[in-house]
Amino acid sequence: MKYDITATEKNGNIYYSVQWSPLTKADRYDIITKVPALAGVFEIYWMDESKRLRLFMVGQTNYGGLRSELRRITDPELCKDNEKARKIMEEKEIWYRYTLTDSSNIMADVVWFFMQTYFPEKTDIKHSGRFNDIFLKESAPDKLMWVP
């Protein structure tokens, strides 16, 4: 299965379709062997005491690709610059999923859409500015129920 982002432009608007990879428990060795070293968008989750996933982070990566970025973010030994994140990585079960795209404009639009939807208080994220409106549809091989 292809985990990527497709786009259709119509009347100055953009319609993205995001196909996510399966949700996977973070393990440094699995990330090294199974996640591609390609550009893309990712989501990081942590499991709460009720066994519900909580969205922790949405991000994008170009340089080094998804493999190195997911490894850096999910490994408490490598997550040195953010004490809150490191504590969560040490104490919680971490999960991730990703989708591939090599377009920085698509990444900007998709991450902006997710940030506006899930973290509206973070207003510093900008979209590409190419379209009037951005619409997005997601699909994934697993059923994901998470708590904001």
Digit-coded pLDDT (tens) for 73-95 = 887 676 666 676 667 767 788 99
Measured between alpha carbons, how far is residue 24 from residues 6, 12, 60, 140 in Å? 22, 36, 17, 12
- The closest alpha carbon to 70, from 83, 84, 56, belongs to 56
Q: CA 137, 7, 111, 31: dihedral to nearest 10 degrees? A: 90
Task: List pLDDT tens digits, range 105-136.
Answer: 999 999 999 999 988 887 788 999 999 999 99
How many helices, marked H, and strands, marked E, lie in the chain? 4, 8
Q: How far is Cα 28 from Cα 31, in angstroms, rounded to an integer?
A: 5
Task: List pLDDT tens digits, range 29-53.
Answer: 999 999 999 999 999 998 988 888 9
Question: Which residues are registered as beta bridge partners of 44?
Answer: 57, 96
Q: What is the distance in angstroms between the CA of the first residue and the CA of the last residue of the chain? A: 28
Specify the pLDDT at position 146. 58
* SS3 label, residue 85: helix
User: Tell me, what DSSP letter sits at residue 79?
Assistant: -
Q: What is the pTM of this model?
A: 0.89
In this structure, the number of other CB atoms found within 10 A of the CB of residue 104 comes to: 12
**pLDDT reading at 56 higher than 70:** yes
